[in-house]
Amino acid sequence: MSDTIILAIESSCDDTSAAVIQGNKILSNIAAGQEIHNEYGGVVPELASRAHQQNIIPVVVKSLNQANIDKNQISAIGFTRGPGLLGSLLVGTSFAKSLSMSLGVPLVEVNHLQAHILAHFIEDANPNPPQFPFLCLTVSGGHTMIVLVNDYFDMKIIGRTTDDAAGEAFDKIGKIFGLDYPAGPIIDRLAKEGDPKKFKFNKPRLEGYDYSFSGIKTSVLYFIQKELKQNPDFIQENIKDLCASVQQCIIEILMEKLEDAANDFRINEVAIAGGVSANSGLRNAMKENEEKLGWNIYIPKFEYTTDNAAMIAMVAQLKYERGEFCDLSVAATARYDFAEDLDTLKS
């Protein structure tokens, strides 16, 4: 890999992030979160765009300073083109375009989901990167899918959620429990001291490798409503067991399909990616399969799980090497396919 220096910008949701990469080595990876959304129980798109506008310059400056490089050393600008919130994406896209124009360097557009997966190729992400072909369970706040990765830019979606994403399920169920947004990390923390077998919730029965998470959310809601009628303190008294049981149920749903796919495709290189891959229960389930099923597992470092610009920089570097640049007419896009759908290929 070359030692080209690239600055990358990520602004698809509620974190403004900038990173500098040299080859596949991350020199800096800075993110500014947006606490403004906490009181609304979810991301408010208009507020997110405004916060990105405020954050983007300080975040980029900090990223360059921490990497100890001058902007004249940058060979290209990478940015997240989509998928994500359009207003948020527009801020990063416009900033990236202006910077590429003023520095006279090429622009590289990056698909956010592809970046979650290719984060595994960052130098310090794994002792050894995954070998192609590998399976990647990509689980975030907006997406849940099993991806067959044949090569860096040759990916096929084997299964996907038919309704809510796994992270969305964590967040919505957390909201039922009265937890702050995003509830995923809070449920993870509380679950560590709870009994995962205490409560049972409905699991979906879908064919193939597709997922569904709306059923578990409804099942938790009805269960809580029923219990609260008898005991108004039910949630407070059982919060740790509730979190542990919900987390266990979501992990079982995720892992059962992933195991089926690994078995059917005869692949034992298995990775996880995206915000929910930070979940300690999911990480443990992967480690168990390393021993039980002989998988070679790839679990991202925490800083490369939730949204970050380092993963955008990694993809920008791979595209730079391939001469894949875009021009200034490129537009941000809320929906952005990044892989072929196995179902579409079959039909």
Min dist. Cβ of residue 45 to ligand KG4 (A): 13
Two structure tokens written together for 142: 């907006």
Residue of 147, 242, 251, 140 lying closest to 203 (CA atoms): 251
Distance in Å, CB of 129 to Zn ion, minimum: 20
Cβ distance to Zn ion smaller for residue 110 or 239: 110
Binding residue (CB under 6 A) for ligand KG4 from 164, 188, 241, 303 = 188
Give phi and psi for 124, each to the nearest 5. Answer: -95, 15
Residue 140 makes contact with Zn ion by CB under 5 A: yes
Cβ-count burial 121-133 (b if 16+ within 10 Å, e if not): bbeebbeebbeee
Residue type, 288: E
Which range of residues in 60-68, 126-134, 280-288, 300-308 is near Zn ion by CB under 5 A? 300-308
Output the smallest distance, CB 283 to ligand KG4, in A.
Answer: 9
CB of 140 to Zn ion, least distance (A): 4
The order of strands in the sheet holding 107-111 is 25-32, 16-22, 5-10, 76-82, 107-111
Contact flag: residue 307 with ligand KG4 (CB under 6 A): yes
Which of positions 112-141 make contact with ligand KG4 (CB under 6 A)?
140-141
Work out what residue 278 binds among Zn ion, ligand KG4, none; the CB cut-off runs from 5 to 8 Å by kind. Answer: ligand KG4
- The only residue of 307, 309, 310, 314 in contact with Zn ion, by rule CB under 5 A: 307
> How far lies 283's CA from each of 278, 290, 305, in Å?
7, 11, 12
Backbone angles phi, psi at 79, to 5 degrees: -155, 155
Number of chain residues interacting with ligand KG4 (CB under 6 A): 19
Alpha helices (H) in 45-204, listed in sequence order: 45-67, 86-103, 112-118, 166-176, 184-191
Token couple for 120: 């595994």
Residue with Cβ nearer Zn ion (182 or 194): 182
Residue pointed to by tokens 């989901």: 113
Q: Does 16 bind Zn ion (CB under 5 A)?
A: no
171 is a contact residue toward Zn ion (CB under 5 A): no
Structure tokens at 291: 């021993």
Question: What is the x/- site pattern for ligand KG4, positions 52-91, by CB under 6 A?
Answer: ----------------------------------------
Query: Given the rule CB under 6 A, which residues bind ligand KG4?
Result: 13, 140-142, 167, 170-171, 182-185, 188, 274-276, 278-279, 306-307
Query: Given the rule CB under 5 A, which residues bind Zn ion?
Result: 140, 307
